[in-house]
Amino acid sequence: MVSITEKEFKQFAQYVKTNYGINLSEEKQTLVSGRLNSVLLSKNFKSLTEYLNYVESDKTGQAVVTLIDKIATNHTFFMREADHFEYFRDKILPYLTRIVKDKDLRIWSAACSSGEEPYTLAMIIDEFFGKEKMLWDAKILATDISNNVLETAKKGVYSKDRISALPASWRLNYFKEIDAENTILTDNIRNEVIYRKLNLMDSVFPFRQKFHIIFCRNVMIYFDNKTKNELVEKLYDKTEYGGYLFIGHSESLNHDFARYKYIMPAVYRKE
């Protein structure tokens, strides 16, 4: 096992914070050490500093991908914070069907992790519109910084335990059994989600149009106040007037800084 000094960890934590917005407190040194040691050993690095130099000098970008996949926490599940999805179904979708005249709904699931959030939105939309769904362009953009979780999400394969809490009609209509343990989402739901890699720390988001709905939940808990405020500003600029931002229930916006209007816990609107 490669030992990591306190000085090395601080240098590493500063690099991760500056480039990816992730705060690694001193309490996480043991966690980081455990997650990175397999990489350090496999590449015969003698220290964390040597590894960090390698990451910074790698022109292919693969070293950074591996690093993020190791330290990012990707914990999610279907219908997480269910009141958000209920509000989306009962209040926002009826509102959007009245005001979006070109039938082009633009929804972004930022930090989508392994796909449960965007697929939940896709199932809600499919059920809400029913036969009229074909008249709407309601594809969901789902982004994450981790290649590993994006590849997992694209497959749409989930264990039966993972979907057990979903409505029976969803399990019947939107999932197909693969084997005794696993299911796969139907093509019509998987095709409604477009996956892309994106770093929320990028200074500019490469979107030509603005979104009616942005889900950016349970990611800002890793950011300091400055980074969080900067991200919220970028999200605001990419939100249509009258559009909504959902954040995690354990998160909050700086009301003296953020331009969004508070609607309900963890739900904001651009007015």
Structure tokens at 11: 């240098």
CA terminus-to-terminus distance, the chain:
54
In order along its 271 residues, the chain shows pLDDT tens digits of 677 788 888 888 888 777 776 777 776 777 777 778 778 888 888 888 888 888 888 776 667 777 777 776 555 557 667 889 999 999 999 999 999 999 999 999 998 888 999 999 999 999 999 999 999 999 999 999 888 889 999 999 999 988 888 888 999 999 999 999 999 999 999 999 999 999 898 888 999 999 999 999 988 877 888 888 999 999 999 999 999 999 988 888 988 889 999 999 899 999 9
Maximum Cα interatomic distance, the chain, rounded to a whole number of Å: 61
The DSSP call for residue 198 is: -
pLDDT value, residue 21: 67
Q: Is residue 77 part of a domain?
A: no
Q: Is residue 1 part of a domain?
A: no
Do the Cβ atoms of 211 and 108 come closer than 8 Å? Answer: yes
Residue 260 and residue 126 share a domain: yes
Single-letter residue type at 265: P
Do the Cβ atoms of 35 and 9 come closer than 8 Å? Answer: no
Structure tokens at 121: 């939105």
Structure tokens at 271: 């007015």
Residue 197 and residue 142 share a domain: yes
Give the E-state strand segments of 178-218 in sequence order: 182-185, 193-197, 211-215
Q: Is 35 helix (H, G, I), strand (E, B) or coil?
A: helix
Range of the domain at 106: 82-269
Rounded distance, CA 244 to CA 265, Å?
13
pLDDT value, residue 235: 97
**Those residues with Cβ within 8 angstroms of residue 30's Cβ, 6 or more apart along the chain or in another chain:** none
pLDDT value, residue 254: 85
Q: Number of folded domains in the chain?
A: 2
Q: Is residue 155 part of a domain?
A: yes
Please give the radius of gyration of the chain, using alpha carbons only, rounded to the nearest integer: 20
CATH code for position 27: 1.10.155
Among 163, 64, 82, which residue's Cα sits nearest to residue 115?
163
pLDDT value, residue 138: 95
Residue 198 and residue 109 share a domain: yes
Instruction: Tell which of 45, 71, 97 closes a domain.
Output: 71
Residue 223 and residue 161 share a domain: yes
Do the Cβ atoms of 144 and 113 come closer than 8 Å? Answer: yes
Residue 111 and residue 171 share a domain: yes
Structure tokens at 152: 């997992």
**CA-to-CA dists, residue 112 to 153, 205, 262, angstroms:** 9, 16, 23
Residue 238 and residue 153 share a domain: yes
Rounded distance, CA 161 to CA 212, Å?
32
**CA-to-CA dists, residue 84 to 81, 217, 245, angstroms:** 6, 10, 10
pLDDT value, residue 238: 97
